Each structure stands twice: as C-alpha cells, then as structure tokens.
A and B are shown apart, each in its own frame.
Chain A
Amino acid sequence: MSYLAIKLTLAVFATFGLYSVLYRETRFYRFFEHIYLGLAAGYTLVATWKDTLYTEWWIKMLGKTDVSADGVATVASNGFWIYSILAPIGLMGYMVFSKKHNWMSKIPIGIILGIWSGQQLEVWWNTYGPQIYSSALPVIPTTWSFVPAQPVAGELYASQALTNAIFIFTLISAFSYFLFSFELKGKFLTGLNTMGRWMLMIGFGAIFGSTVMARFALVIDRMSYIWNEWLQGAILGGS
C-alpha cells in the first residue's frame, strides 16, 4: 500500500469516526474528536510562530544577516529592539488566570479595544454607507417594455422598475418592524409592520435554505472523498 493510500485510508477512518456521532456518541467518536482537536491546536501553534510571530516580530526585532556564498556576512535588515516591548504586553493577557494580578490583563485588552473602537467609525461607514446610497433606487419606469437583448443606457424598463419597487417595499417594511419607539396605530402602519414581519420570515427562510444546501455540500464532498478519492483513486487505482 502506497503512502498516499495509507494517508487517505486514515482520513476515511477519521471520517467514519466523526460521523459515528450520528449513530451515538461513543469512544470511537471521542477518540477521533480528540485527535482532531489536538492536531488543530498543535498546527495552529506552529503556524502562528512560523508564519506570523517569526517573520513579523522576531526577525524585525533581531534584524537579519545574509551570508554570501564566500562566507561574508552582511546586514540585510537592522533590528528594532522596540518590538521587544510587545512580548510583555501580550503576555499580560494571560494574567487573567491569576487572582492577584488579573488587573494586568486589562492593559492589552484595553489597547486592543481602543484601537478597534477608533476604527469603527470608518468601518461602519465603509460597510453601510454604500448600501444606504445604493438603496435609493428609481421606481418609475421610463418605458413600459421589458428589458430587451440590447438595453438602451439610461432607460429604466418596466421589469427593472418593478424589481426596484419590490426592493424598496421590502426595505421600508422590514425597517418598520423595528420601530419600537412609539405604538403603531392605524391600518397603514400595522399593515406595513405585518408585511415587514413576513418579509423577514421569507428572508430567514431563504437564508436557512442556503444553509441547508451548504450542509448537504459537506456530506456530498465526504461521500465523494470516500468513493472517488479513496476507493476509486487510492485503493482500486483508478482516476
């Protein structure tokens, strides 16, 4: 059995192990669950050091020396020792586990919160500004025909106007559902509020449907892994 076949066979065992929870939670399932968690945690630790801390912090702090083929060392980048103060600040976060010194953990948390909060105004506007702007859509058509194969620029066709109208109605009615500052009275406002609830439910239904499809995709892929990649590809030696 080739190395690839052994590797894929182990992965198939792991798949069966993790899916066995559908039958019942057993030691077989827990064994693979713990392997998965251990591997993920170990890999994360190494990847964080190798890809992030080493290149973005350690090298910048110590600097780098290049050695040429004839053994002459030259400074590739200077070390910035100011980076060394980041380590104690970061480690203070772990003081949260100490009853006596847990106040120290608030220092890095405060720095992170401060930086994060300072960015939120711009972040909020970058997220929602264009969406608010793009919600102002025209609803009165310039022509009563449907969109032809070659639409004329600047024309708003009836079907486009109808789509825009449905969008605007959904937006306003869904907003009205969240009006809690005053009591909604009258047929118009209560009707709009009810429609808002309906629109939200339809939206949630669509999101749920999309989620179900995503879950099915996972099962399909696992089955494909077992039948196509492992059995056909590695064991039977097909394509």
Chain B
Amino acid sequence: MTIWEKLQAVDRRILYLILAVCVSAGLFITIEIPTDPDPSSRDLYQAIMDIPEGKTVIIQSDWTNSTRGESMGHFENLLRLLMSRNLKFVFYSAADPIAPQVARTTLARIIKERKDEGLYEYQIGEDYIDLGYFANAEATNLNMGIDLRNAWSGKRTKKAGAGEISIWESPVLKDVRKIEDAGMMIVVTASASIDVAVQRLNKKVSIGAMVTGVVGPTVLPFYQAKQVNGVAVGLKGVYDLEYCMANGVNLKDEDGNIKVLNKGGKEYPKITEGKTLARGSKYYGTLHIALILLILAVVLGNVGMAMSRKKPGAKRS
C-alpha cells in the first residue's frame, strides 16, 4: 500500500482528532488577522452609531447555544456597542423559548465585565427590559407593527427600588408609543426569523441583522435591496464589527492611516470604553487554522486519489 493509498484510507476519527487538536492549539495562539470589514458589517456599525441619543433599541434575540460560536459574539458586540453609547434597549425572542435565557446569561456577563472595568452598570427596568418569549414570530412582528403597546400589553419588568412595574412606566419605554419611535430594531438570529421581521416591519423601523453563516446568504438580498440597513454574517461579521469598534470608520490612527475605509462616507469614532476586540478576534485566527486544515485535507485527498489511479492496474471508478 503506497502512502497515497494510505491517505485515502485514513479513519475519519483521526481527522476529527487532528481538527480538535489544531483548533485547541489555535485558541492559545494570539493571531491578529488584518481585515477589510464587509460593507454590510460596516454599514451595521454605522447604523448603530447613527441611532440618536435617548432612543430605545429593540433587540430580537433568536439564537440559542446551538449557534453560540457565532451568535454569542454578535450579541456581545451589540451589547458592548449599545452600552458604550448609553442606549437603552428591550430584548425578547420570537423564535425559541430557550433564547431569552441564553441572552440573559450573556447580558449578565457583559454587565459584570463592565462593572469590573469600573464602567456604568446597566440596571433592569432602568436601562433595559427583558420581555421573555413570544410564541409565533409572524403574529408577534405583525402586532408590533400595528400596535406595539397592544403587542406587549401585560408585560411587566423588575425595577430596582420599585418592585415590579408595567414596562410602559419604565424609562426604557415611556417615550415609545409605536414601533416607529424605536431607534432601531436589531435581529440576532440563527433562523429565518429575520425574514419575518423584514416582511412585517421594514417599512416602519430601521432593521439591522446579525446572523449565522448558514442564514447569511438568504439575508444579503435584503441588504442589497436596502430592506435591512446592515448585516453582520457569521464569525467574519463578529470580527468585522469588533474591528470597526476598535478602529472606527474613516478614522485616521496615530500614523495617519485609515484602517476601515468607507469611500465618501462620514467619519465614525471608535469605541473608547470597555472591550472591543474580544471573541471575534480570538476565534477568527482559529477559524483560519481550521480552514487551512480543511484545504490541506481536500488537496491531499484529491492528489492521493489521482496518484492511486496512476498506479498500474488501478481500477478507474
């Protein structure tokens, strides 16, 4: 048996082991990959930075641990961005009953992270509201577009020093009477719930999307048609947004270089408080290692197949 034939017959479990080892090693090596953020990610950053002060942001968080690798990075970036801008927000899920708890856990961690850094600690009822789970995305988004106060009627929130109050008495929503009053709606999703939000709400509120690599290709036509104002897709989208947060857009650094360029666009500042390069930058280098391994396996497999066919008397399938 030649080396090429041996390569053809490698047990798939050995490949899984090599992948696990390479990915693990990648997590311990800090590799900073220079990037040119996708226009869709850059536009999302700009759209969030353009939200007027004092406006409330609606977050539809439709992801669970099954897409933690991408969606948690998206959600963390979004929270860091909103908190650095002192924007109030509400969050809920319209796709999965488990999603609100996953969002709560991530939010609690980001609040603690900011507290440890000596930054303002967001308070429930004062700065954000947790609306929980709404069954049926179609009905939820449709109702939100028709009458937001009716769609969310009956919902209450905890507030420090006030016990439990109606969400409409909270500083987060007291000035929001209809969805048009929201600064932006951002859907963090691993499913087609972004389609439903666009279908029902895109004429009423500015929509941004943070989606997984699987969902990304179906959302890009919405971006091309300006039905959403920005999309961060997959792990690249997570890193893109972190890169924009760390470097701003059209912003010159100390050497006079612009790291994120948007020709003809205005200048957007970088985020100066809290973490910017975080999960995305950590995973992005590791992703490259995994992809190199994949390409190597495909090339070796094909070369091995070609070489085995060249062997005299080899069967051609």
Name A residues whose Cβ lies closer than 8 Å to a Cβ of B.
22-23, 40, 43-44, 47-48, 50-52, 55-56, 59-60, 77, 116, 119, 122-123, 126-127, 130-131, 133-134, 147-151, 203, 206-207, 210-214, 216-224, 226-228
Contacts and interface: CB of A to CB of B under 8 A. Distances in A.
Contacts of B26: 220
Contacts of A147: 263
Interface of B: 13, 16, 19-20, 23-24, 26-28, 66-70, 72, 97-98, 100-101, 131-135, 138, 142, 153-155, 195, 198-200, 202-203, 212-214, 216-217, 221-222, 224-227, 233-236, 263-264, 282-283, 286-287, 290-291, 294
Contacts of A222: 69
B134 A220 contact: no
Given A51-B132, A55-B155, A228-B27, A134 B263 contact: no
B225 A123 contact: no
A229 B218 CA distance: 33
Given A127-B195, A214-B234, A223-B20, A133 B225 contact: yes
14 contacts: A43-B97, A43-B98, A51-B131, A51-B134, A60-B153, A127-B195, A130-B225, A214-B212, A216-B23, A216-B287, A216-B291, A217-B212, A220-B27, A220-B69
A220 B23 contact: yes
Nearest to A59: B154
B217 A60 contact: no
Q: Shortest 6 CB-CB distances between A and B: which pairs?
A: A221-B69, A214-B213, A51-B132, A217-B69, A47-B97, A51-B133
A223 B18 CA distance: 13
A102 B228 CA distance: 43
Q: Pick the most buried of B154, B203, B235: most chain A CB atoms within 10 A of its CB.
A: B154
A43 B213 CA distance: 27
B191 to A, nearest CB: 13
B263 A150 contact: yes
B198 A223 contact: no
B138 A116 contact: yes
Given A47-B100, A149-B263, A213-B235, A219 B19 contact: yes
B97 A210 contact: no
Nearest to B212: A214
Nearest to A123: B199
Nearest to A126: B199
B70 A214 contact: yes
A216 B284 CA distance: 11
A211 B216 CA distance: 9
A39 to B, nearest CB: 9
A60 B69 contact: no
A210 B234 CA distance: 8
B121 to A, nearest CB: 20
A92 to B, nearest CB: 18
B273 to A, nearest CB: 19
B254 to A, nearest CB: 20
A227 to B, nearest CB: 6
Nearest to A167: B224
Q: Pick the most buried of B67, B69, B154, B213: most chain A CB atoms within 10 A of its CB.
A: B69
Contact of B294 (A60, A149, A206, A212): A212
A224 B294 CA distance: 19
Contact of B283 (A56, A59, A224): A224
A40 B226 CA distance: 36
Contact of B226 (A134, A148, A219, A227): A134
B70 A217 contact: yes
Contacts of A228: 27
B142 to A, nearest CB: 7
A130 B138 contact: no
B282 A213 contact: no
A131 B224 contact: yes
Q: Pick the most buried of B16, B217, B291: most chain A CB atoms within 10 A of its CB.
A: B217
A123 B200 CA distance: 7
